[in-house]
Amino acid sequence: MLEIRFHGRGGQGSVTSTELMAQTAIGMGKYAQAFPSFGPERRGAPVTAFLRISDKPIRIREKVYRPNVVVVLDPTVMSVTKVDQGLDPDGILLINTTHSIELLRKQFGFKQKIATIDAMTIALEVLKVPITNTIMLGAFSKILNQATLEDVKEPFNHRFGPSLAPKNLEAFKRAYDEAHLEGSV
């Protein structure tokens, strides 16, 4: 089972990210669950969301404490939240950033593999808004070989409708093409 924790801020799409990827996984014949963890937070407050994907039924009904992957939609949360807490030693941190992996290691002491994508630039260029959720899903899908553009079309069309789905699919594809995992070609 793949367990993923998403970190972002209210209004940036962390919860939508987990829901879309769960719907995609289910559409691919897998089992999935997605859920947020927040209280009375407001737009802009740190938000955590969780995702599990498995080939077998998922019986766990609790937060993800030992994720295989952590996805950081907003890099500013790294200064207020220890995003790598509980991350499997062989896990992957996927971070929306323009910073180098070396700088991230030096600044935050990350030990696991790091994957990066400049999701904000893609969001502003393609979507024209600073919302990085579908972009991070594109990077996530590439890094972990989880889904293709074809796999996400139906969930994206259902969620965003005919006016916004094409732009979100374009953003997903661009991130899929541009994401970089440490140590990969």
Residue 156 main-chain phi, psi, to 5 deg? -65, -45
Q: Supply the CATH number for residue 9's domain.
A: 3.40.920.10
Kindly indicate the confidence band of residue 184, based on its pLDDT and cuts at 50, 70 and 90: low
Domain span at residue 144 reads: 2-181
Residue pointed to by tokens 């994508």: 117
pLDDT in tens, 145-180: 989 999 999 999 999 999 999 999 999 999 999 998
pTM higher than 0.85, yes or no?
Answer: yes
- Give the closest residue to 140 by CA, choosing from 14, 12, 11: 14
Task: Tell me how far apart the alpha carbons of residues 149 and 94 are, in angstroms, rounded to a whole number.
Answer: 19
> Are 93 and 174 within 8 A, CB to CB?
no
Task: Tell me how far apart the alpha carbons of residues 112 and 114 are, in angstroms, rounded to a whole number.
Answer: 6
The total number of structural domains in the chain stands at 1
pLDDT in tens, 93-120: 999 999 999 999 999 999 999 999 999 9
Query: Could you give the C-alpha distances from 141 to 30, 79, 144, 173, 175, in angstroms and in order?
Result: 15, 26, 5, 10, 9
Both tokens assigned to 150: 């074809």
Task: Give the model's pLDDT for residue 45.
Answer: 81
Query: Across all residues in the chain, what is the average pLDDT?
Result: 93
